[in-house]
Structures are given as structure tokens and as C-alpha cells.
């Protein structure tokens, strides 16, 4: 697997039902970096993730992907059918690591649920399971669309730390959409500000003062800037 881009998007656009959702998207996703995507509701974040994953086709532009690229996806939520007789262990069939390998289920505090019915899990347990499953696939890229729905607020920090830890140890790429910006932006390598197009992108410490970033997030933009990095000078 080459060490430059995993996926490259050139002049990507997407139109549905006569409405332009995305346009002029130029973006490279590189191996071993964590990208956080921010923007208002309706900005096209989920649509862009689907295009990156190949779940939908762009209506314009070009996408280049490295050969044999393995990707995983963690959605906002997952509700198994109430009559589905399947346990967590069966849901992870063929993916569970050997004894000598690190087990993401343990690091996400759900290893004790292996023999529990999938339908009995809480929302937060299900989201942690979906993240663990994505990690067990050992992909080159994990896309996460608001993955912390249902996670207890007291556990959010650990949830995002495990994402960063996995990304760092395995040198995989992460594309993350999340409203928990005070937790995720400080761990990001690059921030993408999306509102139908890429308004701006860059390192967190560069982006927090950008006019487009401030315009997108309003009052939250300045508050988040406090947490993104540490240095011996201040931003106004």
C-alpha cells in the first residue's frame, strides 16, 4: 500500500432531486491521519462520507482509490431486528483476535458482553461494538458518522481516545464527523470545514481562527479553540 493518498477526490459534486448538495470538493485522504469534518446540519457531511466509501456515486468529478483498499464504517446508530437471534460473539464471527493480540473489546469495556444477545445491548454498548468491529477488520480507513450517539457523557473521552490510539498504533486513516468538537478536534491531524463545499481545511491550530470556521460554528468556534492545542501565546 503506497504511503501517499488512500483516496483522492477531484472536483466532486453531488446533486439529488434537483438540489445541489456538494460541489467543488477537492480532497486527499492520507494514510495515518485523523480528519475531523465539521459543518452545520445539511452541509453534506454524511453524503461526502458515503461518496468516500463508495456507497453512493458522485454526480460529477473523479475519485481515485488505492488498489486493495480496505474500509470500515461506523454509522450514527444501528438497531438490529428485535427477532434476530444473534449474540455479540456471532456478530463478530471470524474477527475475534487470538489471545496474544490486543482486543479492542477489552479497551472499549465490552468484552464481558460477548455472549449477550445483540438486541439486548444499550445504544452506547452497540456503538462501542460497531467501533470494535471496525477495528477488528483492520482496515486502511475507518469512516465514522456521529459514532458516539448513545455513549454516556462520562465515557465520551475514553471512546474518542480509543479511536485516536487505534489510528496511531495501526497507521490507518480516520475520517470522523462529530459534534463533540471539544474532544475530537484536539486529537485531529486535519479539520475539514464543509458547507456544501470545503470552506477551509488545515491543522486544528490553524483552522480555529479562520473566518469560515468561525462563521460555520459561531460562538462554539472560539470555545473549541481553547482545547485544540497548547502553546505559550493566545488567540483572540
Residue ranges per domain, the chain?
5-77+136-228
pLDDT in tens, 62-76: 999 999 999 999 998
Say if residues 74 and 23 touch (Cβ distance below 8 Å): no
pLDDT score at 212? 82
pLDDT in tens, 94-121: 998 877 677 899 999 999 999 999 999 9
CATH architecture, domain 5-77+136-228: 3-Layer(aba) Sandwich (3.40)
Q: Which three cell numbers stand for residue 161?
A: 481516545
Mean pLDDT of 120-146: 95
Mean pLDDT of 179-185: 84
Say if residues 141 and 72 touch (Cβ distance below 8 Å): yes
Strand pairing partners for 194?
198
Mean pLDDT of 173-193: 89
Distances (CA, A) of 42 to 46, 175, 176: 9, 18, 16
User: Which residues have C-beta within 8 Å of that of residue 171, sequence separation ≥ 6?
Assistant: 31, 32
Confidence of residue 220 (pLDDT cuts 50, 70, 90): low
Percent of the chain with pLDDT over 70: 90
pTM of the model: 0.87
Confidence of residue 229 (pLDDT cuts 50, 70, 90): very low
Amino acid at each position: 500500500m503506497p504511503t501517499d493518498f488512500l483516496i483522492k477526490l477531484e472536483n466532486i459534486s453531488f446533486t439529488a432531486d434537483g438540489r445541489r448538495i456538494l460541489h467543488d470538493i477537492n480532497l486527499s485522504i492520507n494514510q495515518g491521519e485523523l480528519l475531523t469534518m465539521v459543518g452545520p446540519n445539511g452541509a453534506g457531511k454524511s453524503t461526502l462520507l458515503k461518496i468516500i466509501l463508495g456507497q453512493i456515486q458522485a454526480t460529477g468529478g473523479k475519485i481515485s482509490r488505492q488498489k486493495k483498499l480496505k474500509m470500515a464504517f461506523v454509522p450514527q446508530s444501528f438497531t438490529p431486528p428485535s427477532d434476530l437471534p444473534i449474540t455479540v460473539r456471532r456478530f463478530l464471527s471470524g474477527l475475534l483476535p487470538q489471545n496474544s493480540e490486543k482486543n479492542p473489546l477489552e479497551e472499549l469495556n465490552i468484552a464481558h458482553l460477548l455472549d449477550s444477545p445483540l438486541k439486548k445491548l444499550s445504544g452506547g454498548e452497540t456503538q462501542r461494538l460497531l467501533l470494535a468491529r471496525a477495528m477488528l477488520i483492520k482496515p486502511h480507513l475507518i469512516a465514522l458518522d456521529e459514532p458516539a450517539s448513545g455513549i454516556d457523557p462520562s465515557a465520551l473521552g475514553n471512546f474518542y481516545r480509543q479511536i485516536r490510539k487505534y489510528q496511531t498504533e495501526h497507521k490507518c486513516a480516520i475520517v470522523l464527523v462529530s459534534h463533540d468538537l471539544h474532544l475530537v478536534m484536539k486529537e485531529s491531524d486535519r479539520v475539514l470545514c464543509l458547507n456544501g463545499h470545503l470552506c477551509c481545511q488545515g491543522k486544528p491550530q490553524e483552522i480555529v481562527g479562520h473566518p469560515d470556521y468561525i462563521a460555520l460554528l459561531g460562538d462554539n468556534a472560539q470555545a473549541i479553540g481553547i482545547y485544540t492545542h497548547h502553546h505559550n501565546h493566545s488567540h483572540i
